[in-house]
Amino acid sequence: MKATVKGRYEVNKSATTVATLTTNGGDVRLKASMTDATFVRGPSLNGLALSLEKPGAFILDYHIPTKDVRFQFMNSVRLMEKTVNLTYTHARGDSRTALDGSVAFDPSNKVSVNYAFGTPGACKVKYVYAQGELRHTVLEPCYDVFKNTWDFALTRNFDGGDSLRATYHTTTKNLGLEWSRDSKVNGCFKISAIVNLAEQQKVPKLIAESTWNYEV
């Protein structure tokens, strides 16, 4: 059994913690996740969620307090000698259904499409370009067909597990910068800053996250 603890701190907001327990049963995984709300006033069902997953096939999420169910099914097909990965997602609570498809033309070039049913024109197309054999630099432009807008992301990966990521959303004018480190010994952490360029006072919003993994 594996345990994961994730902490999040945002300036001017209270810190939050999420704990997840994962156990394997053959080719499926059972997960139970809990938040601060589960224990803050004594043990309760608040913030408790269960998940059943078969990697590469399906994920079933059940949020106990709201009785909300989320289904996700994955499959792949061969089309013009390329493998197209498909993911179908349906969230019953907010009646949201989406279909994602992606195809890698080679190790450096990948295109993905997201379409949300029930929302006219809710379609996004993203292109991912990874530079070089080690693919240390990754460029991700994303086009929103309905809004006719672009989002951009640029990631630089370094040896040792460090990475820098910059994002810009043209609709919200939000510019983000993120530094993360993935370590098998000390866990993972991420520090990010987001600033809205449309605001007169461009004060960045700071967020810090840490993740620790344990064998139980």
Q: Comparing C-alpha atoms, which of 183, 123, 124 is closest to residue 153?
A: 124
User: How would residue 22 be classed by pLDDT, with cut points 50, 70 and 90?
Assistant: very high
Judge residue 95's burial from the number of C-beta atoms within 10 Å of its C-beta, 0-12 exposed, 13-18 middle, 19 or more buried: exposed
pLDDT over 90 at 175, yes or no: yes
Query: Please, what is the average pLDDT of the chain?
Result: 91
Judge residue 201's burial from the number of C-beta atoms within 10 Å of its C-beta, 0-12 exposed, 13-18 middle, 19 or more buried: exposed
Q: Token pair of 56, please?
A: 């590469």
pLDDT in tens, 68-79: 999 999 999 999
User: How would residue 46 be classed by pLDDT, with cut points 50, 70 and 90?
Assistant: confident
CB atoms within 10 A of CB 25: 8
pLDDT over 90 at 200, yes or no: no
Give residue 132's pLDDT. Answer: 78
Number of residues that this document lists for the chain = 216
Give residue 135's pLDDT. Answer: 75
**Mean pLDDT, to the nearest integer, of 82-97?**
91
Furthest-apart CA atoms within the chain: distance in Å: 57
pLDDT over 70 at 121, yes or no: no
User: Assign residue 95 a region: left if phi > 0, alpha if psi is -120 to 50, beta otherwise?
Assistant: left
pLDDT over 90 at 43, yes or no: no
Is the four-CA dihedral 79, 80, 81, 82 of positive or negative sign? negative
Give SS3 for 38. Answer: helix
Give residue 86's pLDDT. Answer: 97
Give residue 137's pLDDT. Answer: 95
Give SS3 for 173. Answer: coil
d(CA 82, CA 104): 7
pLDDT over 80 at 185, yes or no: no
| Residue 112 · residue 101 · CB < 8 Å | yes
